[in-house]
Amino acid sequence: MDTDVIVIGAGLAGLQCARRLQRSGCRVTVLEAEDRVGGRVRTDVIDGFRCDRGFQVLNPAYPAVRDWISVSALKLQKFGVGALVSTDEGASLVAHPLRHPRLAPATLGSRHVQASDVLALLRWMGPVLLRESRASRAADDRTLRTSLDAAGLTGPLRRDLLDTFLAGVLADSSGGKSANYARLLMRWFALGAPGLPEEGMQALPEQMSASLADPVRLGTPVRELEDTAGRVRATTDSGALHARLAVVAVGPQHAADLTDIPAPAAHGLTTWWFRASEPPGTGRFLMLDAARAGGGPAGPVWNTAAISEVAPSYAPAGEHLVQATTLLDQPDGRAEERVIRRDLERLYRTSTRDWELITHHVVPHALPAQPPPLGDRVGQRINDRTLMAGDHREHGSIQGALVSGDRAGQAAAGLLASGGIV
């Protein structure tokens, strides 16, 4: 036998699974198709600009991040907790009043914040704010849209801010995802201040893989996985590897390549990265567009941020980096560069003629669709010698991927230790 467990995929789930197995005393080999670890958490460095493959943030309030990641080593550069809401009349700031007490009077006086909405938001969040486990009760779950309506959250806070913010976070503008999943994410946003690691989001999986005794085998896609003669065999272009167990952690779009599990539906987004000639002056806050009549974005850009104002390490000294995100479930989700520039000119009230496009990422399978009910601890084992891990087995987030990987690692180590697998 070459090893005890083969882990296929070095995204966050595969890496956490391998770390858990290693800690349990198992021999583990990780095979990764790409040339770097990280899966959906990757950073391209282009002319000194750090462009994550799809805008995303690390929330240090995720329990799995607190437990298993050295956040201090990542040197997080934090966003403001809140958002700039842009309308035809200008942009106004709505910030978490406890995190930004000096901004509280402006926030509470904002026309986007009405007392009835705040009460409805607290009603909607209530049980989950107090206790995280309340959100994992699948039986109570329904779609996000229905659940917000039922809570009476129907005013400007919802129309101008919450719907647009959550659509960007969930890569879904339909409101059809699990309300319990959205509540969990909102709980962690309320408790944490998300940020960007000094070296880019890629620093997170790099930190995880650095603690593996046997380095991840990069550029090694698994072509076939077979359960044969009392062992599992993973076939790669450079030969076959045999183990007592395999954990498939390949992401939702590849789940069906190696198993009988159908690929779960997913939602996508695009991120545009521009070098701006001047700092756009929005500070550390995400900007959301609420210029459409009735609320919501009037153009393709659902959120944008002056990344280098939040994270100076993302741009060379004296340079400025701006991200703009569109949603692929919108008709203009794949809008051309000139349309994105025009939208950014409207939002930032400045010409983008001197801005330079650095790159743009189209990520069709960014997040699993996650309709209600939110699955409660989906089993990790899919046949005698194969387990599965990934955000789609828990919920679409860094937290979900880490927890799923850890559970699969625990389950595999348990099977080996119990003698159930020889």
CB 102 to ligand FAD: min, Å: 26
Q: Which of 3, 6, 11, 180 binds ligand FAD (CB under 6 A)?
A: 11
For position 34 contacting ligand FAD by CB under 6 A, the verdict is yes
Q: Which of 6, 19, 39, 216 binds ligand FAD (CB under 6 A)?
A: 39
How many of the chain's residues bind ligand FAD (CB under 6 A)? Answer: 36
Q: Which of 4, 32, 172, 206 binds ligand FAD (CB under 6 A)?
A: 32
One DSSP character per residue, 238-284 reads: TEEEEEEEEEE---GGGHHHHSSSPPPPEEEEEEEEEEESS--S-TT
Q: Name the β-bridge partners of 361.
A: 271
Write out 157-221 in H/E/C secondary structure: HHHHHHHHHHHHHHCCCCCCCEHHHHHHHHHHHHHCCCEECCCCCCHHHHHHHHCCCCCCECCCC
Query: What is d(CA 170, CA 268) in angstroms, rounded to the nearest whole number?
Result: 9
For position 192 contacting ligand FAD by CB under 6 A, the verdict is no
Q: Which of 21, 26, 33, 166 binds ligand FAD (CB under 6 A)?
A: 33
Considering only 34-42, 174-182, 282-290, 344-352, which stretch makes contact with ligand FAD by CB under 6 A? 34-42
Query: Token digits for 343?
Result: 């939208």
Considering only 10-18, 96-104, 120-128, 336-344, which stretch makes contact with ligand FAD by CB under 6 A? 10-18
For position 250 contacting ligand FAD by CB under 6 A, the verdict is yes
**Please, which residue, 54 or 295, has the CB nearer to ligand FAD?**
54
Q: Name the β-bridge partners of 235.
A: 224, 240
The amino acid occupying position 223 is R
- Asked if 170 and 369 count as a contact pair (C-beta separation under 8 A), the reply is no
For position 251 contacting ligand FAD by CB under 6 A, the verdict is yes
For position 9 contacting ligand FAD by CB under 6 A, the verdict is yes
Query: Roughly what angle, to the nearest 10 degrees, separates helices 12-23 and 203-210?
Result: 20
Considering only 27-35, 136-144, 151-159, 376-384, which stretch makes contact with ligand FAD by CB under 6 A? 27-35
Separation of CA 38 from chain center: 12
Footprint of ligand FAD (CB under 6 A): 8-14, 31-34, 39-41, 54, 56-57, 221-222, 249-251, 254, 257, 269, 363, 366-367, 390-391, 396-401
